[in-house]
Amino acid sequence: MKKWWITLGVLVVLVAGAVIGAGSYFYHVAIARGDKSFVTQSTKLSKKSSVYHQKYWYLHARKQTWTIESSDHLRLVAWYIPVKNSKRTVVLAHGFAGNKGLMGAWAGMYHELGYNVLVPDSRASGASQGKAVGYGWLERRDDLQWAKTVVHKTATTQIVMSGISMGAAGMTMASGERQLPQIKAYVVDSPFTSADAIISYQAGQLYHLPAFPLVNVTSLITKLRAGYSFKEADAVAQIRKNHLPIMIISGTRDDFVPTSMGKTLYRNAHQPKSLWLVKGAGHTTAITQNYQRYKRHVTAFLEQYVQ
C-alpha cells in the first residue's frame, strides 16, 4: 500500500511538472516577446493587390516618430502622418505579432478619408519596449494614452479608435474605459472576445490540445510574469460598458478568430452599433477582398458620428 502511494505521488509530481513545463512553453509562444512562427504576415508590395496604392503611399509617406511612456514605464513608439488642416485623427492598432509597418492598407484608407493617422507599435512589438504581449488588456490603456497624446500635440477635435485582430480586441477593451470627449467612434476588424477564449480556441486549432489544464496554467504564469490573467482580458465585459458608436467587422471564413466572436461582441454592445459580416473573407482580409466596398462601409458608419 505504501509503495502504491509513493508511485501515485511520483506520478502526480511528474504530471504537474509536465503541465507547468508545457505552460511555460506556451507562455513563450503566445505571450513573451519574439517571432511567432504560427503567424505569417507578408510585407511584399504587389501591384496586383487591391490595396497597392494605399500601401505604396504608406511606405513612402513622410512620417513623424512619436514616443510616450506607458503607465508601467515602457517606451512606446508610433508613426504620425498628418493631413493638412485636418482636425480628425485615427489611432490605428495592429494585430498579434504585427507592427506599425504592416498597417498600410488601413492607414491609407483613413488618410484618403481625411484623417491624420497615428499608428503605434504595441508593447512588445516593433520599436516599442515590453517583454509581454497583453492580448489587448494591457494595450487598452496604451491606446487611450496615445489618444490623449494626439489631443495634446495636435489640433484634433475628433478621434476614431480603430484596430485589427488583437488591436481590434484591445480597442474594444479600451471602449469600456473612461473616454476622452474627442473620441467619437470605434471601428474594429476581426476582434476576439477574450484572451481566454482565443487562446483556448488556438490551442485546439493549432496544437489539437484541450484548454484545460494547459490554458489555465499558462494564464497563471502570465499573471505572475506579465500582470494579467486571460480571463481579465475580456472584451465582452468591456463592450458592455461602452456607450460610444462601434462598428464590428468579421469575415465569415475567418479561421483564426471565429466569426461567432464578432457576433457575441455585437450582441453585448449598446447602440449605436453595427456588425458587418463579410461573406468569404478570412482573418482581416475584408479590406483586400474588396477595398472600395470596405471603404464605403466604414465611411457610411463614421459619417454619422464624425463631421
In the numeric block, which cell numbers belong to residue 270?
449598446
CATH topology of domain 52-194+233-307: Rossmann fold (3.40.50)
Mean pLDDT of 64-72: 98
> Would you list the domain boundaries of the chain?
1-30+196-232, 52-194+233-307
pLDDT at residue 284 is higher than 60:
yes
Mean pLDDT of 32-45: 68
Give the CA radius of gyration of the chain.
Answer: 20
Asked if residues 66 and 257 have their Cβ atoms less than 8 Å apart, the reply is no
* Interatomic CA distance for residues 57 and 89, integer angstroms: 17
Which position has the higher pLDDT, 50 or 177?
177
- Residues 230-268: tens digit of each pLDDT: 999 999 999 999 999 999 999 999 999 999 999 999 999
pTM strictly above 0.85: yes
Closest CA to 187 of 150, 143, 225: 143
* Residue range 162-180, pLDDT digits in tens: 999 999 999 999 999 999 9
Residue 42 has pLDDT above 70, yes or no: no
